[in-house]
Chains A and B, each alone.
Chain A
Amino acid sequence: MIKGKFIDNLPKVYGIYTGGFIGFIILMAIGEQMGMTAKAIGVAFVAFTIFIYALIGYLSRTAQADAYYVAGRQVPTVFNGMATAADWMSGASFVAMAGGIYFKGYGYMALLVGWTGGYILVATLLAPYLRKFGCYTVPDFIGTRYGGNLARLCAVIVLTVASFTYVTAQINATGTIAAVALDIDFGYAVYIGLISILLCSMLGGMRAVTWTQVAQYIVLIIAYLLPIFWISNKMGAGFFPHFMLADEVARIGELEQQFGFVKNSAADLATVPKGLAGITKAHSAVNATPWAFISLALAMMMGTASLPHVMMRYFTTPSVKAARKSVGWSLFFIFLLYSSAPMLATLSKLSLIDPTLPTGIIGKSFAEVQSIDWFQNWNQANLMFISDFNGNGTLELNEFFMGGKAVVLATPEIAGLPYVISGLVAAGGMAAAMSTADGLILAIANAISHDVYYKMIDPKAETAKRLLVARVLLVVIGFAGATIAAMEIQGILGSVIWAFDFAMSGLFFPLVLGVWWKRANREGAIAGMVLGLGSAIWYLVWVRTGGSGFLGLTQLTFGIFGAGVSFVAMVVVSLITSAPDAATQKMVDEVRIPSGRTVTGK
C-alpha cells in the first residue's frame, strides 16, 4: 500500500527530508546562539539523525522475501546511486581519508583513484549481468552458475572473511564517534552504535537499508561539503574550493621548502602518543614510485568489483539497463565527496602551518600554542600533540603531531566555525559508518540465511522461517562484530584495505569469468576461490611476520598476488577438467542478453 505510492513520491519525500534536516541545522545554530552547550548540540545531532533512520527502518518493515533480500527490485537508478554511495563510503572515507591525504600526499591518493576506478569494472564486467541473473546474493550467483553446494559454500566463506574484516572497522568507527559525541565510554558506545545499525536493517532487510542509506547519504554529503565551502570562504581561499585552491597548494609547497622536513630522532618520536603523526611528506609532489601508486590503485579497483555488499545493491534496480546507469550515478555521488577530500586536506594543512594566517601555529611560541582553546581540546582528546625537541621555544613543523581523524573532526573548530558544524560533522561520520556497516552485516546475514540455510540445509523452509533465520543471524553477526571491534585490534583504514584484498583474492575471477568465460567450470571456480584466498592469507601472514614479499607487494596490496593465484588456478583447473554441461552454457548465454526474464526466473 505505502510501497507503490512511496516509490512514485521519492523525490518529494527526500526533498522534504533534506529541507527538514537543514531546518534542524538552523535550529541548532539558533540554539547555540542562545547558549546551548557544545555537548547538548552533539547529542542532539547524533540522537536526532539516528531516530530518523530507525523510523525509516520501521516504516520499511516487510515479510516478503523479495523485499527483504532485494528491496522488491524497484529502486530507481538515481536513488540506488545514492544508497550505493552511502553503502560504499565508510567511516574510513569520511573520517580518515582527508587525514591520509594530509599526511601522505600523493602516495595515499592512489586510494582516491582506486576507490573510484573500480566502478568501471563493476559497470562493465559484473553489475548488469548479475542483475540479469536475478540472484539474491553474490554466492547465489556462484552457486547457480557453477552448480553444487561446495562452490556456494566457498563463496560464502570468502564473502564472510572479507565483509567481516570490513564491518569490525565500521562498528569501531560508529563507536568512536558515538563516544565523542555522547561523551560516553568507547566500550559502551560500540554497542550503542550497533543497536542503531540493527534498528535500520532488522525489520525490513534490504528494503529498509536502501531507504535509510539514501537518508544517510544526504546527511553525510551535507556534513562533508558545508564545512569545506565555509572554511574556504572564510580563509578567502575561493568560494568554490575545488577550482580555486591552486595558489594554496603552491603555497604549501613553498612553506615545505622553507621549513624543510626535519627528521626526528627515534628517541624523540617515542614520546609522541600512539596514532599521531607529523607532516613528513610533500603535499602535492610525486613521492611514490609509479608501481607503488599503481599497485595500490589496482588492488583497490579489483577489490571494489569483488565486494558483495556493493554488488548486491545493483540487484535492487528494476532492469539491467537501470543497473548500468545506476553504477554511473553511484560513482557521481561518491565523486562529490572524494574530490573534496584533497581540498579539505589542503585547507586544513595551510591553516595550521602558514605563519601569516591567524590560525597558523608553526613558528609561534609553545606557551602561545598551548593557550589556544582548540589546541587544548584536541590535545585532551589525544588527537594533537606538540613537543619542543630542539628546545628553542618556538614550534617547528617537525614538532607538531596530529591524528588523522583530526583533519575532518577538528578543522572546523580551528577555522573558527560555530560548534553546530562540529555536531553536523559528527552526525555525518556516524551516517557514513552506519550505512556501510548495515550493508555489510546484511550481506553476511543474507548469504548465510539464503545460501547456507535455505539452499543447503532446509530448501523447503517457508518464507516466514527464512526471514526469521535471516534476522537472528543479523543480530548474531552484529554482536560478534561489535565484540571484536571493542577489542580494537587493527586501525580503521588498515582493516578496510585488507577487506578489499581478501575479496579480490577469492571472488574477482570466479565472478568475472563466470560471465565472460563459458568454459569456466565448478572445479576451476572452487580452486580459484580456495587457492586465491588461501594464498592471500599466507602472503599477508608472511609479510606481517617479517617476510620480504616480492614484486613490491605489501600488506596493503597482497590481493594482487591472491588474485593472480586465483586466476591461474581457475584457468588451469577448468581446462584440465570437463567443460560445463549444455544447460550451464545456455544459462551463460542468457545472462549475456539484457532483455527478458531473469535467469533464475524470479
Chain B
Amino acid sequence: MSNAQKHWEKSRSLLWITLAIWAVFSMGIFLFGAEMNEVTGPFGYPWTYWFTCQGSLGIFVILIFWFANRQEKIDEEFGFNERGDD
C-alpha cells in the first residue's frame, strides 16, 4: 500500500470516530430527551435543557479542534504536513 493510501486510511478512521461522537451529541442523546430532563445536570439545569443550550454546542467546538489536531498529526506522520504556519 502506498504512502498516500495509508494516509487516507488513517484519515478515514479519524473521520468515522469524529462523526460517531458528533452523532451521539447532536442526535443520539435526544432520543432520551424526556428521561434525561428529569435529572439535574451541570450548574443546576435539567440535563436535556443544558445540552441544548450549552453542552452539545461546547462539545462541538472542542471536537473540531481535537479533530484538527489529530488530522495534523496524521499528515505529519506521512510527511504531508504543509510548510509555513497559520
Residue positions of A touching B, CB distance < 8 A: 76-77, 106, 109-110, 112-114, 116-117, 119-121, 123-125, 128, 242-247, 249-250, 284-286, 288, 290, 293-294, 297-298, 301, 317-322, 324-328, 331-332, 335, 338-339, 342-343, 589, 592-595
Which 7 A-B residue pairings sit nearest by Cβ, starting from the closest? A246-B44, A322-B86, A117-B26, A328-B64, A109-B52, A324-B68, A342-B53
Does the CB pair A249–B26 fall under 8 Å? no
Chain A residue nearest in CB terms to B26: A117
B39 interface contact, C-beta 8 A? no
Specify the chain B residue showing the minimal Cβ separation from A288.
Answer: B33
Question: Is there an interface contact between B33 and A325, defined as CB atoms closer than 8 Å?
Answer: no
Does B4 have its Cβ within 8 Å of any Cβ on chain A? yes
A453 to B37, CA, bound (A): 54
A250 neighbours in B (Cβ, 8 Å) = 44
- The CA of A342 and the CA of B54, in the complex, are separated in Å by 9
Contact (Cβ within 8 A) A124 B15: yes
Query: Do the beta carbons of B61 and A332 come within 8 Å of each other?
Result: yes
B9-29 to A contact mask, C-beta < 8 Å, 1/0: 001000100110010011100
Chain A residues near B18: list those with CB within 8 A.
Answer: 120, 124
- A97 to chain B minimum Cβ distance, whole angstroms, is 12
Interface of B is mostly: helix
Q: Which residues of A contact B75 (CB under 8 A)?
A: 321, 594-595
What residues on A are CB-neighbors of B11 within 8 Å?
592
Contacts of B65 in A (CB 8 A): 325, 328
Residues 38-86 (chain B) with a chain A CB within 8 angstroms: 43-46, 48-49, 51-54, 56-58, 60-61, 63-65, 67-68, 71-72, 75, 79-84, 86
Q: Which residue of A lies closest to B64 (CB)?
A: A328
Q: Min CB distance, B14 to chain A, in Å?
A: 8
- What is the distance, in angstroms, from A293's C-beta to the closest C-beta of chain B? 5
B interface residues with partner A (beta carbon < 8 Å)? 4, 7-8, 11, 15, 18-19, 22, 25-27, 30-34, 37, 43-46, 48-49, 51-54, 56-58, 60-61, 63-65, 67-68, 71-72, 75, 79-84, 86
Asked if B19 and A286 make an inter-chain contact with CB atoms under 8 angstroms apart, the answer reads no
- Cβ contact within 8 Å between B80 and A593: yes
* CB <8 Å contact, B57 and A120: no
- Asked if A321 contacts B68 (CB within 8 A), the reply is yes
Q: Which residues on B sit within 8 Å (CB–CB) of A249?
A: 45-46, 49
Given contacts A106-B52, A290-B31, contact A244 B43 (CB under 8 A): yes
Q: Kindly list chain A residues whose C-beta atoms are within 8 Å of the C-beta of B33.
A: 106, 286, 288, 290, 293
CB < 8 Å: which of B19, B30, B57 contacts A335? B57
CB-CB nearest in chain B for A80: B86
Verify B57–A338 contact, CB threshold 8 A: yes
Contact A77 B86 (CB under 8 A): yes
The interface centre, meaning the residue of A114, A286, A335 with most chain B CB atoms within 10 A of its CB, is A286
Contact between chains at B84 and A247 (CB < 8 Å): no
A140–B58 CA distance with the chains assembled, in angstroms: 33
Task: From known contacts A290-B33, A318-B84, infer whether A593 and B4 are also in contact, taking CB-CB under 8 Å.
Answer: yes
Given A120-B63, A124-B19, A244-B43; A317-B86 close (CB under 8 Å):
yes
A293 touches B30 (CB 8 A): yes
Q: How far does the Cβ of B81 sit from chain A's closest Cβ, in whole Å?
A: 6
* CB–CB B64/A116 < 8 A: no
Q: Which residues of the other chain, B, contact A595 by a CB distance below 8 angstroms?
A: 75, 79-83
What residues of chain A lie closer than 8 Å to B71, measured between beta carbons? 128, 321, 324
Q: What distance in Å separates the Cβ of B30 from its nearest Cβ neighbour in chain A?
A: 5
**Least CB separation from B11: chain A residue:** A592
Q: Is the CB of B80 within 8 A of A294?
A: no
B48 CB to closest chain A CB (Å) equals 6
A44 to B38, CA, bound (A): 48
A-B contact pairs, 5 of them (CB 8 A): A112-B57, A117-B60, A243-B43, A294-B31, A319-B84
* Closest B residue to A332 using CB positions: B61
Q: State whether A321 touches B60 (Cβ < 8 A).
A: no
The reply to whether B60 and A298 form a contact with Cβ atoms under 8 Å apart is no
Chain B residues with CB under 8 Å of A244's CB are 43
When C-beta atoms are compared, the residue in chain B nearest to A341 turns out to be: B53
Q: Which residues of A contact B30 (CB under 8 A)?
A: 110, 113, 290, 293-294, 297
Q: How far is the CB of B16 from chain A (nearest CB, A)?
A: 10
Question: For the complex, what is the distance from the CA of A318 to the CA of B83, rounded to whole Å?
Answer: 11
Cβ-defined contact, B67 with A324, below 8 A: yes
State A288–B45 Cα separation when bound (angstroms).
18
Contact A294 B27 (CB under 8 A): yes
Tell which of B19, B32, B56 touches A116, judged by Cβ atoms closer than 8 Å.
B56
| Chain A residues positioned under 8 Å from B82 (CB to CB) | 319-321, 594-595
Contact indicator A339/B58 (Cβ below 8 Å): yes
Q: Tell me the bound Cα distance from A589 to B46 in angstroms.
A: 47
Which residues from B are CB-within-8-Å of A76? Answer: 86
Chain A contacts of B45 at CB under 8 A? 245-246, 249, 284
